[in-house]
Amino acid sequence: MNVMVERLEAIYAIAQHRAGYSAEEDAAHELAAGWMREAGLEVSVDRAGNLFGRRGDARVWAGSHLDSVPTAGRFDGALGVVAAIEAATRLPEAPLAVVAFRAEETGPMGSKEIAEAPDAYLELHIEQGPVLASLGEPLGVVTAIAGQARGLRVFEGRADHAGTTPMDAREDALLEAARFILHVRECARAGTVATVGSIDAEPNATNVVPARVTVSVDARSADGSLLDALIEEIGFEVQWRSDPVQMGDAFAAVLPDAPRLVSGAGHDAMFVPQSSLLFVRSLNGGVSHHPDELSSAEDIALAVDALTAALARLVS
């Protein structure tokens, strides 16, 4: 078992669920801090609890996060941190920093609160999707992180007895919500995605016609104008929104022939200036946030090579 796999297993052994600012996330940060010291890095913590391992006048950073969702696998977030530590070990004289951000899964919270701006931030992450596997490619350079809009749509009806109310006399809020859900899917065209992931029906009884239904909408695109058009066409109340974020070319410079991808998921790289993001092929159908999440040791080795080369180029 190589050192990367050993460290991923050690983090996972702390707990599958390492919630942001929990004792489990604290323990993962303590473990990573020890590895940073072994790599010759000076360890510090900022006001948000983000963990840094620095060497010299570090203006180039690499890393990710160590918190996880309740159903987590071994790779999401943790891979980026242990890969950055390994790259720093391979570059013993380079002035750089490794960072483990706090609470990425619930915000992100740590990376939003950074108080200093690096010249470059590099993040390596499992793809969380099947694209690279379908292309037969181990690595993909991310060109942009999609903007997101989340909100609700509420449908009002009337609560009636399910057995005594004729079908043509009903005001069924769930029926209208069902039509809307199909509408959401039809609105998502090339370059966009849209999802209804939550339905809250009231009074939520088997023998009552639904009187009120609230559905969630999650709309995403790496093109801001397409996202605006999607929101308008769907028609929902936006409660939270982020704009698309373009990624830098640090990985493109060392992987000129690798596929270019857009990230539909958010990452700490959205909030750190001069960010570049690299995806590692996800196996098992691209499953993520699940124990079956997997990248091969061979693909990880290629990714660490690319991360090391990109860091060396930036600090030279």
According to the model, what pLDDT value does residue 117 have?
Answer: 86
**Residue 1 scores a pLDDT above 70:** no
Show Cβ contacts of residue 220 under 8 Å, excluding neighbours closer than 6 positions: 146, 147, 148, 149, 192, 193, 194, 227, 264
Domains belonging to the chain, first-starting first, are: 3-145+244-315 (3.40.630.10), 147-242 (3.30.70.360)
CB 199 within 8 A of CB 155: no
pLDDT tens-digit map of 257-292: 999 999 999 999 999 999 999 999 999 999 999 999
Give the chain's length: 316
Residue identified by tokens 């092929």 is 281
CB 173 within 8 A of CB 211: yes
- The tokens for 68 are 């996880």
**pTM assigned to the model:** 0.92
pLDDT tens-digit map of 82-140: 999 999 999 999 999 999 999 999 988 999 999 888 999 999 999 999 999 999 999 99
pLDDT tens-digit map of 14-60: 999 999 999 999 999 999 999 999 999 999 999 999 999 999 999 99
Tell me what the pLDDT averaged over the chain comes to: 97
CB 157 within 8 A of CB 172: yes
Expressed in angstroms, the distance from the first to the final Cα of the chain is: 32
Query: Using CA atoms, how far apart are residues 283 and 298, in angstroms rounded to an integer?
Result: 12
Q: Could you give the percent of the chain with pLDDT greater than 70?
A: 100
Q: Which of 260, 286, 264, 302 is nearest to 142 (CA)?
A: 260
Q: Which of 181, 178, 177, 184 is nearest to 234 (CA)?
A: 184
Query: Using CA atoms, how far apart are residues 131 and 118, in angstroms rounded to an integer?
Result: 30
